[in-house]
Structure 1
């Protein structure tokens, strides 16, 4: 077996001792030596006879006593002897140089230090006079290098070893490990080691060969190999086999992969991952990587001819009707210059379930809402200056859950953003900002969502879904056909449209100015103004799926253009009051007022809102000029924002801050109360003339503790419409524990499809039990899950409510618990993960996985992932 090395870094360090009592330099040529009393004369003679010889061709001998025997033609040195030649240093209690045969015999605490810092010790050395070849008894070799984790020390040992030409050392009945010996009991076996009949370390090839090798953990053999080799720890990249990988799932059976890494050249490599599954056959994966002067790219491909297609559900719920499945992905990042770079992430998949079914690593894979996965492909060009920014990209989204209908997912071709800030010209001064955005979005089918309880289990299913499901699963469980969509015709208050079919382009440009003035009383005045223009080019697809359903609300035939101009002027006022209370700190109270005047928003009923879906009103955007998250909507009318801010800082390091405020629609039409296709502003807290109150409190008693809370409270009764809190405590170095607790609660927004309040709690902790052992994890509790279970299934799926009667409030939505052991040579981690997923039944099931990772540093690592779920995975058949 050959173990390759894909990522490793190495450096070497030099070590030298120089306690000199008497010294004699001995040239390799014919030189007469005198006694210790004439050492200096001998040195002079050597220097004269060496002539133009370099320092590396001379042997320097240091010792307390040096004796030259003319009859035997030997030189004997004793007492802290040190010999230096060719960058190597040999230290011993006694050294004898036989000039007749050119051999060096060293005994007693012998130690040789290589130029690269490798230290070799033994009881007796017999070497040539250049230290390159010979034999060593009770051999021990220590080499310090560096890998991606930092410095690493490797150790070889053997009863006897042979050194050949300074490049190869053979350890007879040798051992190899990267673990430190036990300080209290050095004779005890290290945590892991490789024992072999012969261990051959070739420095020229930078490889370590093992013959008849056994790997031991805590002295217990766990594996035997007749022959294998590994790269030297200093090697960064080396061709060869990587550590094997194992997999087991219900649909795939038992599987094993032995990856092979091929270092084609310093700038490119190829990794092959042949994997055999007992149920599905041979899966081939490959990854090609190449680096250039300006960047790099990689290409990943995977493919299989499935042997047991019945392991997966039939379409459209799985890939049970496919024999050939696979994927091709590529990623690239390149620099044009120091300010400009471009790149891409592209994924082509045979079906939406392939990556998950076969556990394929993918850089395009992402999960939303902990449930719905998707693959994102994009290409981009980005520029960054001191005060400017440019970004252009095209994006394609592929849904990877059965609940996704690809025709409803948008394509972006492209979206362009430009932002530039400059100093304002005299005499206005201040800062001038230019912003530009262009977006072109297309979609094949209109996407609806119901704002009622009905059909919550299948909000995105394609036509015909209700007739296929009973057939796919049998009528015993689902005896009644499930309705597809209640929004047959758009009804305000009952439906929202997440996206329209067709092609929609928008161009937006904005120029703004602001300048801050501070008067003699300390008051801060910031006038500002902006002018924004938008043009919407709507090309409705008259033949697009389901566009007919919204004809009563928006034009859905042919082309349409909508223009909008939004000028605005405003003023922001702040007046900080500062009080110095000595040891009680410096306190600052600052009232803030802001008013913005602009005309009413127009055209919002005739556009497809694509980039302003989300609207979260809190303290972070209380004083934003426009609180919409994107360009498709533009806040209009006259609005005033007011608040008060408090800060405190004490000499002991205690700090705190608070903000509380409200927003008012002073005049004109309230954009947040205007219903568009998404009911964007409904229930946001901004949809009435006087908004909800928003606030934030943050306290930091020290650098190790912090507490931050923020909330949105009803304008009439101060009811909690939204609340977030997080406490973080780091007890180190007094106690090895760090912990956090996060809580969030948001009231229901039925106009936007959130029928129930959203509430969750997430505690997390990390505890270093010992310097080597640590445990940590987090648990996410879904505190509103019981509401949905109680009502949604009963209404939408009838008898299915009897199958799942869970009504407990403390539903675990996600768990990550891990136990880790780590020392200088070994890492062992065991993780237990649970996460929700939208299973093929349409319900949210829980995926439970155990991950085990073992790394023997410098030797390799192995990962095992095992699902222990009893529920049906997305696309996996129950049989």
Structure 2
């Protein structure tokens, strides 16, 4: 018998024909199921084996055992071994010792490898490892491959798959080049216990048989149990999920079950539709015992130049004492598009039947919805332009949508000139818009603003800034006596306004070293602002200066209104004193107190209670305490000039302990303001705590209204998450009341339970 023997090292290339590589072999059915995933896999340690290939993409299920590319299937098989024998009479190749064979990106490792060139049958024995090009690894006691490697049998299969997946089976069989049949299968994505590797994982899926269909890219289990810590908790005769070999695939997602006072018992069974490579759609039908069926939709599409996202629903409310009867729905959508290197465009479309509908079906409770379309341009940091239009929808029962404006168009442009020879900067911008109401003021405005700022540092260390701003505006309006102006001096017509404000700002930071304790800063600041008197301006429409709050943040603004429809006039002095102690560890103590004094006594355009209606303003201040990284306090307030009474106060503090505990607290007091409905005082305290330990996280938070003597909201969460398992519980209760009825809003209570088996799916329960 002619026989040729080569001894190590040996490298051979054999044209073994087309067909899938060794990693495609599949499964035979023997007798008893593997006990658990945890036992050590044969061959070299998984960490070492996995290091020989790139990390795979994260996909669910059993994504291993997949076909390679056609190019790989056509390549010859090349192998190395310590010793190779070739029997010419029988055309038999036998390789022994550290055998490593590969075809394209696939690799087979074994103690012994036999290939019969007459029959095309290849046999691998002893510590068999099948490594795919994507890094997924299958271990086996033995493998027999035939039919140009299209069909085959593996015994004692173990696998390291994508997304930390681990699979074990008594055997695996591949037929028709695309179907894998596995017997006595165990699958999990949990790491073995470090203290006891033989202990059952947190969860594992155990099935009598499983089939991987590479054509349909699905995994199907039969007679399957889900075990938690080795204890069966759920049995199903059939379970199917995508194999993960495709980036996206259509199919049903994990359902959500629940019970609520408005829906009764319900179930949501989402279906994911991968329309094509650029778009997909999720259908979320909800079937409930007390309400008609509801259909939710989530749509996404990507373009080369942008994207579109949309969430929507349609349903029918049966109606009760708190909710209307009839068809209802919502849509929340957005689009973002890049036109060229300077311009981009977008839109937001948000509409809903009512806030009650959103709360009942848990689509997110919102009080105000904005619909707009815009385009904007950027030219470095020197100029910016934007054109947009907006429609608003108020959802509260107290909202009168006939008085809420439609803005069409809104045009803004600004430009900043290069720094001049003196070191100053000139700015220009224009802001023009038109608003329309079914009941109330219609306004068209054109505005131009010019500004200049010149900083200067003197020899003593003082920092001086000269600033000037001028505004010119023209208005055309109808029904100025209507909302939101309610003017008693004008109704229909037009008006032109102009204003100029100039300021001289001085700061002197005094810095003193505290040695090893850091350094101190004392900084007085004084500003003089002057300009013509503007009066109450009751004959000028007010669209952008209604919402206003006087704090330390706008104490030194030339015009304390955020918009331009109300212009502050006259001469005033702003003054403040800031002190800080900066510690070497990055901590600090900081405080600021300041106020403003107006020369004239005309009241200006400020409403009563704003803090600026008198010649001497209220005092404003802030304090920040950050002595160590684990403790922070922040406070901001406004106090009456006459007696120091609290007009506004916002306090918050956070403490973080090394044990993983975080405690926070806060207090908020705001007086009634005329531009909010209902007009009422807010006097609330809030507290929260979060604890982290290991994989666990628990938290609780609450707000209490001292004025109404009742809670505002209470939330609590508890959760566990590791590499393979998620357990989460959430509780939320709001005590908000509908001002029109005095009743709590619908669906103000929520209980959510979620169990997630990573790579398999999530299972949720919701109660309201």
Structure 1 and Structure 2 fold alike (TM over 0.5): yes
Partner of 2:341: 338
Please show how residues 219-298 of structure 1 align to structure 2 within 5 Å.
219-233=230-244, 235-298=246-309
1:308-707 correspondence to structure 2 within 5 Å: 309=318, 311-313=319-321, 318-320=323-325, 322=326, 324-350=327-353, 353-359=356-362, 361=363, 366=366, 373-385=367-379, 386-426=381-421, 428-445=422-439, 501-540=440-479, 553-556=488-491, 559-602=492-535, 604-667=537-600, 669-671=602-604, 674=605, 680-707=606-633
Q: CA deviation at 1:736?
A: 1.6
| Offset, 1:606 | 1.7
Structure 1 counterpart SS, 2:553? helix
2:187 is the alignment partner of 1:171:
no
Instruction: For residue 329 of structure 1, report the CA deviation from its aligned partner.
Output: 5.0
**Kept in 1: contact 2:15–2:77 (CA 8 A):** no
| 1:865 is the counterpart of 2:761 | no
Checking the alignment, whether the CA contact within 8 Å between 2:711 and 2:735 is kept in structure 1 is: no
Q: Distance in 1 between matches of 2:285 and 2:539?
A: 54
Mean alpha-carbon deviation: is it higher for 70-79 or for 193-202?
70-79
Residue 64 of structure 2 aligns with which residue? Answer: none
> SS at the partner of 1:281?
coil
Contact 2:441 2:483 in 1 (8 A): no
Of residues 683, 689, 694, the one that matches 1:759 is 683
Distance between the aligned counterparts of 1:283 and 1:652, measured in 2? 56
Instruction: Show the counterpart of 1:4.
Output: none
TM-score of the superposition, structure 1-length normalised? 0.74
How far did 1:95 drift?
3.3
Q: Is contact 1:564–1:603 with CA below 8 Å preserved after alignment?
A: no
Cα distance change of structure 1 residues 835 and 234 upon mapping to structure 2, 3 Å threshold: farther
Offset of residue 127 of structure 1: 2.6
Q: 2:145 aligns with which of 114, 117, 127?
A: 127
Do the aligned partners of 1:683 and 1:751 also contact (CA within 8 Å) in 2?
A: no
Distance in 1 between the 2:682 and 2:509 partners?
37
Partner of 2:67: none
The aligned counterpart of 2:47 is none
- Between Structure 1 and Structure 2, which shows a larger proportion of helix residues? 1
Q: CA deviation at 1:763?
A: 1.9
Q: Which residue of 2 aligns with 1:102?
A: 120
Structure 2 gaps, min length 5: 1-6, 17-70
The residue that corresponds to 2:222 in the other structure is 211
Q: How much has 1:139 moved relative to structure 2?
A: 0.6
Q: d(CA) in 1 for partners of 2:284 and 2:133? A: 39
Deviations 1:185-220 (A, max 9, x none): 444433333333322234565432323433333344
Report how far residue 267 of structure 1 moved.
Answer: 1.1
Distance 1:339 1:764, change over 3 A: farther
Provide the C-alpha distance between the structure 2 equivalents of 1:111 and 1:540, rounded to a whole number of angstroms: 82
Q: Distance in 2 between matches of 1:588 and 1:541?
A: 51
- Structure 2 residue matching 1:605: 3-state secondary structure: coil
What is the alpha-carbon distance in structure 2 between the residues aligned to residue 765 and residue 235 of structure 1? 43
Separation in structure 1 between the aligned mates of residue 111 and residue 89 of structure 2, nearest angstrom: 23
For 2:691 and 2:312, locate their aligned partners in 1 and report how far apart those are by CA, in whole Å: 40
Deviations 1:4-36 (A, max 9, x none): xxxxxxxxxxxxxxxxx9321233259xxxxxx
Q: Distance in 1 between matches of 2:177 and 2:197?
A: 29
Q: Report the CA distance shift for 1:29/1:592 in structure 2 as closer, same or farther (over 3 A).
A: closer
Equivalent pair of 1:615/1:681 in contact (CA under 8 Å): no
Which TM-score applies when normalising by structure 2? 0.84
* Deviations, residues 759-787 of structure 1 (Å, cap 9, x unaligned): 222222221122x211123211222223x
What corresponds to 1:141 in structure 2?
159
Cα deviation for residue 601 of structure 1 reads: 1.0
Secondary structure of the residue aligned to 2:200 is coil
- Find the aligned partners of 2:677 and 2:282 in 1 and give their Cα distance: 46
The structure-2 alpha-carbon separation of the partners of 1:399 and 1:387, relative to structure 1 and needing over 3 Å to count, comes to same
Q: Which runs of 5+ in 1 are unaligned?
A: 1-20, 31-52, 145-151, 367-372, 446-500, 675-679, 787-810, 868-879
Structure 2: distance between partners of 1:54 and 1:161: 22
Q: How far did residue 753 of structure 1 move?
A: 8.0
Describe the shift of the 1:166–1:584 C-alpha distance in structure 2 as closer, same or farther (beyond 3 A).
farther
SS class of match (1:356)? helix
- Checking the alignment, whether the CA contact within 8 Å between 1:587 and 1:649 is kept in structure 2 is yes
**Quick one: which of 155, 177, 195 aligns to 1:184?**
195
Tell me what 2:35 maps to.
none
Aligned counterparts of 1:383 and 1:374: Cα–Cα separation in 2: 27
Q: Deviations over 1:165-188 (max 9, x none)?
A: 775533112122222233334444
Are the counterparts in 2 of residues 85 and 130 from structure 1 also a CA contact under 8 Å? no
| Cα displacement string for residues 369-406 of structure 1 (whole angstroms, at most 9, x for unaligned residues) | xxxx2332222222333232333332222222333333
Cα pair 1:214 1:221 within 8 Å, conserved = yes
Secondary structure at the residue paired with 1:111? Answer: strand
Shift, 1:755, TM fit: 7.0
Give the aligned partner of residue 753 of structure 2.
852
Contact 2:150 2:177 in 1 (8 A): yes
SS for the counterpart of 1:407 is: helix
Tell me how far 1:73 sits from its aligned partner: 4.8
SS at match of 2:165: strand
